[in-house]
Structure 1
Amino acid sequence: MAGILDSVNQRTQLVGQNRLELLLFKLKGRQRFGINVFKVREVLQCPNLTAMPKSNHFVKGVAHIRGQTISVIDLSLAIGGPGIQNTKDCFIIITEYNRSVQGFLVDSVERIVNINWESIMPPPSGSGRYSYLTAVTEIEKELVEILDVEKILNEICPVNTEVSADLLSDGEMQKDLGERIVFIADDSTVARNQVKRALEPLGVQTEVAKNGREALIRLKEIADQDCQNVITERVALLISDVEMPEMDGYTLTAELKADPRMAPLHIILHTSLSGVFNQAMVEKVGADDFIAKFNPDELATAVKKWVHEA
């Protein structure tokens, strides 16, 4: 496993092609799971873990890795499965999400597969609001589940969504917005709600989509029906995640910018890919801004800026 991620830095060419690479792993049982390689720093045989008093019961312990103390989360236990008892033969996937580094304890790690976002679908509609799935795909005729890691992390350490008092609306935001909305595209229910809660005190009305393709279809509908073919008459700003089933945020941005009706729309890419952000690709697809999740003040400041310029 030591060399499995040696070429991660060379994989950035996949960004913007609506493709990604998944690291496949298993928890307890036969079910396969996947995690975007861009989120992964390293895969290690599980070292000795140190238990921490009064820590969340999903946290198996902490490990000292390359001069950094990292919390290790029992991923099986965190999603409602049986906990991993014997860590000797298990692995830790070191990841970076939302400006923080954490390890996920898993039973085994298999390999990396290259896949198109179009092959990754939203979870079944009957999975319910309490499901930990954010997407599913099929590899070698077997279902692979992609977990809503942002939901898992938020349950362990809830994210603050309150905007500082000095950034709260003084009336200028409502004046700039008028009757227009801010559109949010994100496949994570938790992430969508975090953005909405951060923007509500600013007096912002929002509409949401669960993935890039759904957002593209809806924005075109708005342009056709409500805006006399100029989207900015109804939508002041788009805040889009990058990783989404069916169509990622880079591809969504490129599609919008290629449509004359949509091209004037300001777009903020808002993603948990904080450690591997590709500035050149953001500029290439035409996004206006990039913000790593989740800092409500940074988000509010960016929204105020781009709404004012819309």
Structure 2
Amino acid sequence: MSGILDTVNLRTQMVGQNRLELLLFNLETDQTYGINVFKVREVLQCPELTEVPRQTTAIKGMAHIRGETIPVLDLSEAIGRNAIPKEQQQVCFLIVAEYNKRTLAFLVRKVDRILNTHWDQIMAPPAEIGVENYLTAVFEHEGKLIEILDVEQILADLYPMATKVSDDVATSEVRSKAREHHVLCVDDSSVARNQMQRSLEDLGCKVTTCNNGRIAWDLLVQLAEKGNDVTELFLMVISDIEMPEMDGYTLAAMIREDPRMERMHIVLHSSLSGGFNVSMVKKVGADGFLAKFNPDDLAGVVIERIKKIEGR
């Protein structure tokens, strides 16, 4: 199993090509789930876990891995399915991942393989299933439907995050200036969109949200075709990187290639590890990178942009 990520270094060649790699895995049924390989640090057989006092039974304990102590989350139980019995844990696997500057391990029944595909083949879940679910996207492959879990939503339910911007960052003068500006936020995760919107509205900005890069691109094109200067309408675009239909890298590259919006200020954000993405940001012409989610950090990039256009 240690060799399943041997080809991960090839992912750096996918920047701006709207491509991704999915690590496929199973929980308690034959249903196949996927997680973006970019989020995965390693895959290993589950070691013996150290139990800890906890508020949620989905946290099964701590794993000691390469000098680190990492919390282990039973992903099946976290999404409302049957928990993996303790006596079966050591024949299962851990997917060690990094989200929002936090390292944790997902306990899963089986890890299958890595699948190379394109974001434009990844679709948003059907609206008919409603919003009360943990799906962020679906993907059909070899006649089977692969479900991509909204891990941000799962973690937000387990570890609720504050969205209020601190008064030290959002002074009364800053809030007054922010009310004059409009930010376009793009993210396929409903929890991430809501977090950004609440924080930026707390700062004072007007906010428009889009569910993925394709929707955001269509909106910008429609506005531009009506004669609007979109760089005047929006202070900036803040976009997630990993999204169905069109990823953030592709969105940034297309904005830069369109003369009507090439001056748009673009910040890409992601729950992926920051060091890797900084070089990616430069390659597609974005202006900055923000590891999500921290309300003060988010407010900070907006405040910095406001000061720059005001010449301060």
Pick the TM interval, shorter chain. over 0.9
Instruction: Answer yes or no: is 1:273 the counterpart of 2:275.
Output: no
| Alpha-carbon separation, structure 1, partners of 2:306 and 2:250 | 22
2:145 aligned to which of 143, 146, 153:
143
1:169 touches 1:203 (CA, 8 Å); kept in 2?
Answer: no
| Alpha-carbon separation, structure 2, partners of 1:51 and 1:141 | 40
Structure 1 residues 16-55: aligned runs within 5 Å: 16-55=16-55
Q: In percent, how many aligned pairs have the same letter?
A: 54
Structure-2-length-normalised TM-score: 0.94
The unaligned stretches of length 5 or more in structure 1 are none
2:178 touches 2:204 (CA, 8 Å); kept in 1?
Answer: no
Instruction: Answer yes or no: is 1:82 the counterpart of 2:96.
Output: no
CA drift at 1:206: 0.4
| Alpha-carbon separation, structure 2, partners of 1:177 and 1:146 | 37
1:173 touches 1:304 (CA, 8 Å); kept in 2?
Answer: no
Instruction: Answer yes or no: is 1:119 the counterpart of 2:118.
Output: no
Could you tell me which residue of structure 1 aligns to residue 193 of structure 2? 192
CA drift at 1:276: 5.8
| Alpha-carbon separation, structure 2, partners of 1:172 and 1:163 | 11
| Alpha-carbon separation, structure 2, partners of 1:177 and 1:197 | 14
SS where residue 22 of structure 1 aligns?
Answer: strand
CA drift at 1:275: 5.0
| Alpha-carbon separation, structure 2, partners of 1:229 and 1:66 | 54
SS where residue 41 of structure 1 aligns?
Answer: strand
Structure 1 residues 1-310: aligned runs within 5 Å: 1-85=1-85, 86-175=88-177, 178=180, 180-225=181-226, 228-274=227-273, 277-310=276-309
| Alpha-carbon separation, structure 2, partners of 1:3 and 1:307 | 47
When residues 190 and 161 of structure 1 are mapped into structure 2, their CA distance, relative to the original with a 3 A threshold, is same
1:173 touches 1:307 (CA, 8 Å); kept in 2?
Answer: no
Runs of 4+ in 1 over 6 A off after TM superposition: none
Amino acid across the alignment from 1:303? V
| Alpha-carbon separation, structure 2, partners of 1:94 and 1:175 | 42
When residues 293 and 250 of structure 1 are mapped into structure 2, their CA distance, relative to the original with a 3 A threshold, is same
CA drift at 1:177: 5.6
1:132 touches 1:152 (CA, 8 Å); kept in 2?
Answer: yes
SS where residue 89 of structure 2 aligns?
Answer: coil
| Alpha-carbon separation, structure 2, partners of 1:70 and 1:175 | 42
Amino acid across the alignment from 2:36? N
SS where residue 184 of structure 1 aligns?
Answer: strand
When residues 133 and 64 of structure 1 are mapped into structure 2, their CA distance, relative to the original with a 3 A threshold, is same
1:177 touches 1:236 (CA, 8 Å); kept in 2?
Answer: no
Q: In the TM superposition, what whole-angstrom CA distance separates every residue of 1:28-67 from its partner, at most 9, and x where no partner exists?
A: 1110000011100110111111111134211111111111
Aligned length: 307
CA drift at 1:169: 4.2
CA drift at 1:307: 3.1
CA drift at 1:278: 3.0
| Alpha-carbon separation, structure 1, partners of 2:252 and 2:215 | 13
CA drift at 1:173: 5.0
When residues 122 and 42 of structure 1 are mapped into structure 2, their CA distance, relative to the original with a 3 A threshold, is same
Amino acid across the alignment from 1:214? I
| Alpha-carbon separation, structure 2, partners of 1:25 and 1:255 | 33
